[in-house]
Structure 1
Amino acid sequence: MSAVLAGHSVLCVMPTGSGKSAIYQVPAMALPGIALVVSPLIALQHDQAASINEHTGATRARVINSGLTTGEVEEAWSAASEDEATRAKFLFLAPEQIARDDVAARLKSLDISLVVVDEAHCVSSWGHDFRPDYLQLGHLLRELGAPVVALTATASHPVQNEIMDRLRLVDPVVLVEGFDRPNLFLDAVHHVEEEDKLRAVREQVLGLTGPGLVYVATKKAADGLSAELQEKGLRAESYHAGKLRQEREVVHQGFLDGTIDVVVATTAFGMGIDKPDVRYVVHADISDSLDSYYQEIGRGGRDGLEARAILHYRPEDLSLRRFFAARSVNRTQLRDLFVLIAARTKPVKIKKLKELSGLSPRKLTGLLNLLEASECIVEGAKGYRARKMTAADAVARGVEQAEIRERIDQSRVEMARRYAETRGCRRQFLLGYFGEELAEPCGNCGNCTRRESAEGPSEADAVPPAEAGTVPFDVDSSVDHPEWGAGTVMGYDEGVITVLFDSEGYKTLSVELVLDRKLLTALPGAR
């Protein structure tokens, strides 16, 4: 809070329920002007605004979104334009509205003293909830000139870096609260046959005390499993993007109210769900990354009481995740888009590019992302302009950038596999992925409890964790590999070091081989 009051931008990575809202709400009341809050969820906007108004005893928070009438929208804009003593102190908008030129123009006319970007991981193409509209925020934030508070519950190192880059945060204060959730019991159950896995998921959910969440990979699986659970007497409902918005809202509210015991959902369900008493989160399918998995299991046990996070896993399940991690680039579309931008004498905005190219918003954003990341185009306040180069060079650079991203995405799938198959402490592995060390095995995961049980040692004993003397580099230190280049040490598990390489993604290496063959060398600042 002191950093915000001092005018600094802040990136805050804290678990949901740990007071992220206070970081901006308290300073905003002390600052002159308005706090602009960008939030992707309409329901959450209304909840937060209602909470602020209840605590202040006045209508100091206003919401502007697509669910309001024209009259209600104008009333909100008017409230934000009044004198200091009576005007709204908080203005909540969705990112898709920020992307509109008319909305951006009205925001520039207001006295905005603070900008808050909630669910900030959505700005990152590394992130698990990437949303193209968030990419429009960077240049608007620069024009508004106010300090920025970026909030997210989960962000690994690459996600944090891209958030800061995309939002153009200048020398921000980075606040990362520990990722550990010690009240979550972590486990994974291995299966050979799909039918056996689904049967085990169903039987486990029937035996657990809810409320709970079950994550599946497809809409069909969500509908099918929820129907089976209903037949067994559970108040179960499915939730996925194939349902009407009204249907999803009924499920959402029913889960919060306690009239639904279990929600069987795709990844469409979860963001903004602040239900403290979720007792279990079961995954019938492996997530695409540990970023996604941590975010999803983090919805359990927010009241601090024990909750279970169980992954049901078949190695074959990774095929779907690897398929989605593959990045095929349409070279013709990439070339045509670059030529379109290069042919114009003035910068061109994304709205105009959408009109001229005929591409879908997501496809257009993806191609622009590639061209910008490969330094073929530059985004400014007035739009995109091309750098001086041939179309062939632009395509080559864009394809190379896509290949780097694919290697990184595939490496994240590989890390999810390693988590599922580790014989060591699961909490140590999961925290290591986020660059956080846990000195001793947690004692609250399946591998630890099986090892400690009176029934005798399990496979978890087969490979002891690396001893202090065999750790060649500190976690979070910078290293270099002769083939893969620069990287950051993320952690150790079962005699293996995990390094996140800038252009290759996550790689795991035997500590013994690293020492014997000198595969890694310390970069400045490393041990």
Structure 2
Amino acid sequence: MDINLAEKLQLYFGFDRFKGNQEAIIKNVLNERNTFVLMPTGGGKSLCYQLPAMLMPGTAIVVSPLIALMKNQVDAMRSFSAKDGVAHFMNSSLNKTQLERVKKDVRDGLTKLLYVAPESLTKEENIAFLHDVNISFYAIDEAHCISEWGHDFRPEYRRIRPIINEITPRPIITLTATATPKVQHDIQKNLGMMDADVFKSSFNRPNLFYHIRPKTQDVDRDVVKYILSNPGKSGIVYCMSRNKVTTFAQVLQANGIKALPYHAGLDPSERAHNQDAFLSEDASVIVATIAFGMGIDKPDVRYVIHYDMPKSLEGYYQETGRAGRDGGEGECIAFYRAKDLQRLEKFMQGKPVSEQEIGRQLLAETAAFAESRVCRRKLLLHYFGEEYSQENCGACDNCAGTYKHVEAKELLLNVLEAVSALKEQFKTEYVISVLMGELTPDVESFGHQDLEVFGIGSDESEATWAAVIRQALLSGYLSRDIENYGLLKV
């Protein structure tokens, strides 16, 4: 397709230039190639499928997980276009008459973008309807929902590929703001698009400052004090439970702070009202569960506070990413207490064993991040498969603080020796058990107490060994097996 894309961008969206990889991605979609897009929050993902949808014959099917997100996107598209029928959504919030109107606009060729919830996509009558539609391509938004290793796994997302085959196979563009190498592999494999062209943007957000603070009895007072010392600024406070959201919003209000709660248990009209009040600055703080923020495009959020640590680093990255989208300052403060993560681990009991195992690994990564003295930016970027080469980022508590550094060459050699002796078949916790000479049932059953390395590190603490292994991973002495998540390799 030979099109002046900059002209079309101006015509349909009023922007005068593309951001980052957008133009290359759009060309790829126009050339009908499978496309995998990894682009942090605020990088302009939606445009990557909205513009091609406007330019190609037929209707693009956009699979999106949240009703609120679809509504935002459809409203935005309609505000750019003179025709209301240009974008529609199909989900459980529509009544029969509304659904018929959507189908008529699609049949008449008016609709360029049709947003569908994965649950609606699986309904027989919708499959039959879409079978007769001229489909330009499929866009899978929030694609990390496909992976059990993603921070927001949705089982119905794993059924998308067979349904596409049943409707009409067309090229696919998948988009996500957070995916570790493991999750990316999972998404591509599940959607049968290992051949996709991959477009990765950097995950580094240089304007964000990351702090982790110990969570004490005074956490309420600490948060109130911080917010009062930043008058006139917008912020989000994330809490783990709905109950905490409600009570903490009241604590803030009692201290004269214009705060409102937001969680999935509120009446939808109250939720919408609170979200609008935050966007229009009638409220300066929103206290929320992680249900808040998907698709919220408020560029001037100046701080994100985690009252409770999230259960994965992807969740943490996604939520802190709501801060400073306009490139201005963004403070990310999280209150950490090991007990909170242990409580989250308890909640997993009763789930399938594989799910518990994955959940535990993700919690262990989060704990390691919170307890580490290494540059937080380096740790986060490494988690997403990106290397950060600067010694000091100057914008996290560890780089800005003063910690003494220790020479650990001997310890590193011990770790490498232990991983080799164990034939690269074990995870961090097990390697540490062997180094410390712990005679666990597993160690006995494998007979590893007879290895030369057994107990060579018994005079160091578990925390020290965990820190050495973490540093070895960061420096490239060790890697984790991506297929068998977590096995250490030299």
Q: TM-score range by the shorter chain?
A: 0.7 to 0.9
Aligned to 2:58: 33
> Aligned partners of 1:443 and 1:207: how far apart in 2?
22
Aligned with 1:11 (options 12, 19, 36): 36
SS state of the match for residue 162, structure 1?
A: helix
Is 1:207 matched up with 2:233?
Answer: no
Aligned to 2:121: 98
Aligned with 1:407 (options 346, 350, 357): 357
SS state of the match for residue 37, structure 1?
A: strand
496 and 73 in structure 1: CA distance in 2 versus 1, 3 angstrom threshold: closer
Aligned with 1:443 (options 394, 399, 402): 394
Which structure 2 segments of 5+ residues have no match?
A: 1-25, 417-421, 428-467
Aligned to 2:257: 234
- Whether the 8 Å contact between 2:224 and 2:255 is mirrored in structure 1 is no
- Whether the 8 Å contact between 1:408 and 1:506 is mirrored in structure 2 is no
Shift of 1:496: 5.1
Aligned to 2:106: 80
Amino acid across the alignment from 1:462: H
276 and 492 in structure 1: CA distance in 2 versus 1, 3 angstrom threshold: farther
SS state of the match for residue 218, structure 2?
A: helix
Alpha-carbon deviations, 1:221-279, whole Å to 9, x = none? 11111101001111111112221222222222221121111111111212111111110
214 and 465 in structure 1: CA distance in 2 versus 1, 3 angstrom threshold: farther
* Structure 1 segment 292-331 matched on structure 2, within 5 A: 292-326=315-349, 328-329=351-352
Shift of 1:208: 2.9
> Aligned partners of 1:496 and 1:149: how far apart in 2?
32
Amino acid across the alignment from 2:35: V
Query: How much identity, in percent, do the aligned residues show?
Result: 37
My pick for the range that moved more, 173-182 or 206-215, is: 206-215
463 and 208 in structure 1: CA distance in 2 versus 1, 3 angstrom threshold: farther
Which structure 1 segments of 5+ residues have no match?
A: 330-401, 451-457, 474-479, 486-490, 510-519, 522-527
482 and 66 in structure 1: CA distance in 2 versus 1, 3 angstrom threshold: closer
My pick for the range that moved more, 207-216 or 319-328, is: 319-328
> Aligned partners of 1:132 and 1:302: how far apart in 2?
31
Aligned to 2:437: none
Amino acid across the alignment from 2:361: S
Shift of 1:52: 2.4
166 and 324 in structure 1: CA distance in 2 versus 1, 3 angstrom threshold: farther
Aligned with 1:120 (options 122, 133, 143): 143
Aligned with 1:420 (options 356, 370, 395): 370
SS state of the match for residue 286, structure 2?
A: strand
Aligned to 1:71: 97
Aligned with 1:434 (options 373, 376, 384): 384
Alpha-carbon deviations, 1:412-443, whole Å to 9, x = none? 21111111111121111111111111111211
Aligned to 1:483: 425
Alpha-carbon deviations, 1:108-129, whole Å to 9, x = none? 1101011111111122222222
* Structure 1 segment 433-472 matched on structure 2, within 5 A: 433-440=383-390, 441-450=392-401, 458-459=402-403, 461-463=404-406
> Aligned partners of 1:284 and 1:50: how far apart in 2?
33
Structure 1 or 2: more strand by fraction: 1
- Whether the 8 Å contact between 1:429 and 1:493 is mirrored in structure 2 is no
**C-alpha RMSD of matched pairs (Å):** 2.6
* Structure 1 segment 265-284 matched on structure 2, within 5 A: 265-284=288-307
Shift of 1:502: 4.3
SS state of the match for residue 212, structure 1?
A: strand
Shift of 1:57: 2.4
> Aligned partners of 1:197 and 1:499: how far apart in 2?
37
- Whether the 8 Å contact between 1:415 and 1:506 is mirrored in structure 2 is no
> Aligned partners of 1:240 and 1:506: how far apart in 2?
33
TM-score by length of 1: 0.73
Alpha-carbon deviations, 1:261-299, whole Å to 9, x = none? 111111121211111111001111111110111011011
Aligned to 2:14: none
465 and 206 in structure 1: CA distance in 2 versus 1, 3 angstrom threshold: farther
- Whether the 8 Å contact between 2:181 and 2:482 is mirrored in structure 1 is no
Amino acid across the alignment from 1:483: Q
Amino acid across the alignment from 1:407: E
> Aligned partners of 2:187 and 2:271: how far apart in 1?
29
Aligned with 1:56 (options 81, 87, 106): 81
> Aligned partners of 1:94 and 1:169: how far apart in 2?
21
> Aligned partners of 1:464 and 1:327: how far apart in 2?
44
Is 1:257 matched up with 2:280?
Answer: yes
> Aligned partners of 1:16 and 1:496: how far apart in 2?
26
* Structure 1 segment 390-405 matched on structure 2, within 5 A: 402-403=353-354, 405=355
Amino acid across the alignment from 2:220: L
Aligned with 1:136 (options 148, 159, 164): 159
SS state of the match for residue 20, structure 1?
A: coil
Shift of 1:187: 0.8
Shift of 1:180: 0.6
* Structure 1 segment 349-428 matched on structure 2, within 5 A: 402-403=353-354, 405-428=355-378
TM-score by length of 2: 0.78
- Whether the 8 Å contact between 2:207 and 2:330 is mirrored in structure 1 is yes
464 and 318 in structure 1: CA distance in 2 versus 1, 3 angstrom threshold: farther
Shift of 1:492: 8.1
505 and 202 in structure 1: CA distance in 2 versus 1, 3 angstrom threshold: farther
- Whether the 8 Å contact between 1:81 and 1:110 is mirrored in structure 2 is yes
Amino acid across the alignment from 1:430: L
- Whether the 8 Å contact between 2:260 and 2:274 is mirrored in structure 1 is yes
